[in-house]
Structures are given as C-alpha cells and as structure tokens.
Amino acid sequence: MGRGALGTVFQDGEFIIRQGDQGNCMYVVQRGEVEVIQHSDSGEQHLAYLKPGDFFGEMAVFEKEARSASVKAVGESMVLKVDKKTLLRRITEDPLLAFSLLQVMSHRIRDLDELVSHFRSGTD
C-alpha cells in the first residue's frame, strides 16, 4: 500500500477492506480493478469486480455495522477514501451525486434480492 496523487495504491491481492471490520468511510476506484468477495463457512465467494468510477463500502457511511464483504486489489489499483463529512459536502455541491449513489445502491439491492430469490426457489 502506498499513497498516490488521488488516493492510496494497493498491490495485487492486497486487502483494502476486510469483512467483519468496522468502517466509517467508502472508497472510489480511481485506477485498476478490485474484487469484492464474501467469506462464509463454505469458503470464499466472488461477488463482483469493480473498475474506475465504481465505489464500495458505502454502507459504512450510513450505518455503523461491520463490513459485509472484503475487497482486494486485482493488479495494482488506486482507491480514494471518502468519509461521511466529505461525501455530505460533495452532495451539497452536486445533488445529482446523491441520486447516482442511490441508483447504484438500489441496483445492488435488486441484484441481491434476485440472488436470494434464486437460492430460495432452488431449495423448495
């Protein structure tokens, strides 16, 4: 991990956040790619690859819960850390940012609902 002009540089396989850790900020991928994974009793499950412009960890800005997944760098990646105060300031400056954030979060919830529905229908 190193400091870049815009954010923090992570090397291939290096964890940016870990499932179960407490967090109070979100991250925006500036360069490279990151992988979102979730750990369970049955092992590690790939959830998504995120590219520049994508964000993760946003739930920690809104609630003080443990991280629901881990995120690690795929190759060299740079991410920008955004705390609650910075996010709220940016939303005040550009209200469309709030809409974009909610749109992505809504899409993620819809995908999760479909996944849960798929698993439920497979066990009936």
Give the pair of three-digit tokens for residue 14.
């290096």
pLDDT higher at 60 or 10: 10
When comparing pLDDT for 102 and 27, which is higher? 27
Task: Say if CB 69 and CB 112 are below 8 A apart.
Answer: no
Measured between alpha carbons, how far is 50 from 13 in angstroms, rounded to an integer?
A: 14
Q: Which two tokens stand for residue 43?
A: 């092992």
pLDDT in tens, 15-53: 999 999 998 899 999 999 999 999 888 888 898 999 999
Sign of the C-alpha dihedral computed for residues 105, 52, 77 and 25 taken in this order? negative
Structure token digits, residue 29: 């991928």
Check residues 84 and 13 and name the one with the higher pLDDT. Answer: 13
Print burial letters for 34-69: b (CB count within 10 Å at least 16), e (below 16).
bbbbeeeeeeeeebeebeeebbbbbbbbeeeeebeb
Q: Report domain 2-123's class.
A: mainly beta
Q: Say which residue, 30 or 96, is predicted with more confidence.
A: 30
pTM score, whole prediction:
0.77
pLDDT per position as a tens digit, 58-82: 888 888 788 999 999 999 999 999 9
Domain ranges of the chain: 2-123
